[in-house]
Amino acid sequence: MAKITAKSYDILVQEEESILSNLLSSYKSPVLVLVDENTQTHCLPIFQKILGDFPICEIKSGEEYKSLETCKLVWDAMLSNKLDRQSLLVNLGGGVIGDLGGFCASTYMRGVDFIQIPTTLLSQVDASVGGKLGVDRQGLKNMIGVFANPQMVWVNLDLLNTLPEQQLVSGFAEVVKHGLIADIDLWNQLSKISKVSEVDDWSRIISRSIDIKNRVVMEDPFEKGLRKILNHGHTIGHAIETLSFKSETPLLHGHAIAAGMIMENFISYKRGNLQYSSFLDITEYILKIFGKATLSFPNEISEVVVHDKKNRGGMLRFSLIPEIGKCEYDCEVSMDEVNAAIAHYQSL
């Protein structure tokens, strides 16, 4: 349906399976497929005829396993299956599999090839695109990692049928973000959707969302400037997500980012940049789609925000939208503004 070409690899949306099959058959050295217990059960059978009888490495699903300890298991599996520098790692899974698997491939023998087959909406429109790879450390997201591009990203829309509704909703947050920061037409299209489960044609939405991220990444591959706009909603959102892991009911990534977008847009509105009508429209829509997140340890959010990777010189740096469809990066934000945004969200 769509082929979106990046600088050094292809992002294929529902293309012919022969393209993937031909790529896999071109590798004469060992190939390893990385899965978790969910993709092993629900997604691997869909690709079995393409992937063949390649050996499997299974890890546990969940953000808590996105760690160096899990990397050791993957590296050991790569060693035991005799992968060499001409080998390939196939990452079949969501954001954790893609981030961690790509990191393991990029550091094994100083780098072997890998491809991404994202199985969730979140990983299809966000995590698998852009070459950011890594793992969490000391409760902070993506603190250890590298930039490296896969040989290919294969987006198969049939895999969305394997997802529970809440996983679809979570991934939808990144689509909404792309509309808010870069494409008012996409935002207008999305704003007509009242329930994610009612979407009957994902192809155009996913292709447009990927195209937005890919265009930004191509212009700024190492996040020196423009690419920072992709972090809209994530400075506070990542802090909310991180703290939720300490509770009995951790938030899915998209639900945390949705809350983060409301709070960060509150900051922009209070500064007199984002019009109140736009702020209200965004807030009402996000609450309708994602609901209001229960904040775990709200008093600690500001303590986690200070560790965000975009901060510089002791100052908090946010990516804020002055209007729908545009975004500014490296906006200095005070802790008082962060706390006011948290208090506003709590009052909704």
Active site residue 232: no
DSSP one-letter code for 156: -
**Residue range 188-224, pLDDT digits in tens:** 999 999 999 999 889 999 999 999 999 999 999 999 9
Among the listed residues 333, 320, 316, 325, the one whose alpha carbon sits nearest the alpha carbon of residue 268: 320
Question: Is 54 in contact with 75 (CB distance < 8 Å)?
Answer: no
With residue 69 as reference, give the H or E element that holds it.
helix 68-80
**Residue range 83-97, pLDDT digits in tens:** 999 999 999 999 999
2-162 architecture in CATH?
A: 3-Layer(aba) Sandwich (3.40)
Active site residue 231: yes
- 34: amino acid identity, one letter: L
Among the listed residues 263, 303, 2, the one whose alpha carbon sits nearest the alpha carbon of residue 140: 303
Residues 299, 330, 235, CA angle at the centre, nearest 5°?
Answer: 30
Active site residue 255: no
Catalytic residue among 66, 141, 227, 228: 227
Question: Is 323 in contact with 185 (CB distance < 8 Å)?
Answer: no
**Residue range 136-182, pLDDT digits in tens:** 999 888 999 999 999 999 999 999 999 999 999 999 999 999 999 99
Active site residue 223: yes
pLDDT along the chain (348 residues), means of 10: 75 88 92 97 88 91 95 98 98 97 98 97 94 92 94 93 94 98 97 93 94 95 95 97 91 97 98 98 98 94 90 90 98 96 97
Count of CA atoms in the C-beta half-sphere (13 A) of 138: 4
Q: What is the CATH number of domain 168-347?
A: 1.20.1090.10
Q: Can you give the residue ranges of every domain in the chain?
A: 2-162, 168-347
Catalytic residue among 110, 161, 198, 248: 110
Residue with tokens 């969490």: 136
Active site residue 264: no
Active site residue 307: no
Active site residue 326: no
Dihedral of alpha carbons 164, 167, 173, 176, sign: negative
Largest pairwise CA distance in the chain: 59
**What are the two backbone dihedrals, phi and then psi, of residue 113, each rounded to the nearest 5 degrees?**
-65, 150
